[in-house]
């Protein structure tokens, strides 16, 4: 397993489909995962430190975990089958729960849990970006700083 950082969320054109971009810590691979607009908003809210007036689903889940004394210790992106990513939530009690990566990432950002990607997933879907292309990644980060969760809309799929 390789630790991953969340670079941010953007909308892929022309499909208008949100993606979350993860970066391998200590490596040069990036992992793009296509997600829904609701999850994109939840991830962007968490990254920007925004707290909604009423809890969104991922905030509610974090609050429930705190109320029952459970700790999310890590998130693992474990598999990629037929174009679908799979993840697991790992709790301090040893319990592991299957989850969509987008939900797992949104929850990890709210709880401070680290995110890991399997070697197989990174080998299959990771994109190596050498140091000389870091300027492009920096421009992407600047773009992410300028967008807000409202930019993702609320279209249903």
pLDDT in tens, 20-32: 999 999 888 999 9
Burial of 84 (0-12, 13-18, 19+ CB in 10 A): exposed
**Residue indicated by tokens 């809309």:** 153
Predicted confidence at residue 49, as pLDDT, reads: 83
Distances from the Cα of 13 to the Cαs of 16, 17, 19, 34, 102, in angstroms?
5, 7, 10, 12, 19
Distance of CA 82 to the CA centre of its chain: 20
Query: Comparing C-alpha atoms, which of 4, 102, 90 is closest to residue 44?
Result: 102
Q: Sign of the CA dihedral 33, 38, 43, 44?
A: positive
Low-confidence ranges of the chain (pLDDT < 70): 130-157
Residue 15 DSSP symbol: T
């Amino acid at each position: 397993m390789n630790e991953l950082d969340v670079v941010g969320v953007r909308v892929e054109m022309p499909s208008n489909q949100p993606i979350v971009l993860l970066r391998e810590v200590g490596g040069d691979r990036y992992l793009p995962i296509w997600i829904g607009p609701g999850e994109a908003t939840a991830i962007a809210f968490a990254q920007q430190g925004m707290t909604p007036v009423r809890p969104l689903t991922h905030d509610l889940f974090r609050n429930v975990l705190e109320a029952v004394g459970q700790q999310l210790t890590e998130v693992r992106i474990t598999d990629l089958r037929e174009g679908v990513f799979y993840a697991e939530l790992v709790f301090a009690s040893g319990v592991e729960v299957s989850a969509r990566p987008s939900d797992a990432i949104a929850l990890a950002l709210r709880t401070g849990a680290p995110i890991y990607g399997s070697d197989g997933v990174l080998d299959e879907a990771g994109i190596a970006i050498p140091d000389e292309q870091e300027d492009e990644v920096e421009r992407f980060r600047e773009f992410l700083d300028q967008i807000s969760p409202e930019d993702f809309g609320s279209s249903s799929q």
